[in-house]
Amino acid sequence: MHPPEMRARARALRARGHDIRSVARSLSLPYTTVWHWCVDRPEPAVFGSAVRCFRCRPDQDDPPDQAAYAYLLGLYLGDGHMVTTDRTPVLRIYCADAWPNLIGQCDTAMRAVLANKVQHIQKRGCVAVQSTARHWPCLFPQHGPGRKHERPIVLTEWQRTIVEPQAGDFLRGLFHSDGCRFANQVTVRGKRYVYPRYMFHNESTDIMGLCQWALDLLGIAWRMNRRNSLSVARREAVAALDRHVGPKS
C-alpha cells in the first residue's frame, strides 16, 4: 500500500493540470495506480467498518478471499458487465439457465468479494446475477464504455499480484463464462476416437491473451484453432485443467 501522502501528492499534481502520465512519471508510480487515485476514485474514500472494499481500506492490501476474487474477475471478463451510469454501480454477470450450479458459484463469489446483497434477475435463457455496490469500479478497473473487444483490457499491477498465485481460479472463471468442456469426436482411417477437450472463445485479443498467460503459468498446453478460439486437447493438459476448472453445471 502506498502512504496517504503519496496519494495526496498525486491528486494535488493532477489538480494543477498535470496529466496522468506526467504525474506517474514524476512520482515513479505505475500509470494505473495514478489513474485509480485521480480518475476512478478522485476523492479520498470514507473508511469505516461498513467498507468492505480492500482497495479503499488502509488496513487491507488484498481481498480477504483471493481465490474468489480471481474467479469473479474471470467471470466478469467473460460474461460480465458493469453499469456506472446509475447513482450506485451495478456488477452484473450473465449465467445460462442450463448451468444452475454456476449461478450459485457466481453468487457466492460476489458475496465473498464485496456484495452484501445479490439479486438473480431472470432473463430469456439466462439469469443476471447482480449486485449494487459503490466500490465495484474500484475492484474491476477494466470497466468502461463500449464492448470489451473494442477497447483495451489490461490487468493492473495489483490484479496480477492477486491472479498469478490464483491462476487456476481465474481460469475457472474464464472457462465457466466463455468456455466449455466437451467430448470431441474424430475419425482416423475409419476408426472413431472420442476424447475430452476444452475450448475458450472470446472476441477480445486482450482477454484471450490473459487466458493464454494463465494457462502458461500452470504449464498447460494450448493452441489457437481459430482467431478467437483457444483449444486445450492434449490428455495431460485436459487432466491438469480438470483439476482447476471442474464442472460448469
pLDDT at 40: 60
pLDDT at 45: 47
3-state secondary structure the chain: CCCHHHHHHHHHHHHCCCCHHHHHHHHCCCHHHHHHHHHHCCCCCCCCCCCCCCCCCCCCCCCCCHHHHHHHHHHHHHHEEEECCCCCCEEEEEEECCCHHHHHHHHHHHHHHCCCCCEEEEECCEEEEEEECCCHHHHCCCCCCCCHHHCCCCCCHHHHHHHHHHHHHHHHHHHHHHEEEEEEEEEECCEEEEEEEEEEECCCHHHHHHHHHHHHHCCCCCEEEECCEEEECCHHHHHHHHHHCCCCC
What residues of the chain score a pLDDT lower than 70? 1-2, 4, 40-51, 86, 247, 249
pLDDT at 6: 81
Q: Do residues 71 and 14 both lie within one domain? A: no
Residue 55 lies in a domain: no
List the domain range (segments joined by +) for residue 8.
4-40
Specify the pTM. 0.77
pLDDT at 234: 92
Q: Do residues 82 and 24 both lie within one domain? A: no
Look at the chain and report how many structural domains it folds into.
3
Q: Do residues 89 and 148 both lie within one domain? A: yes
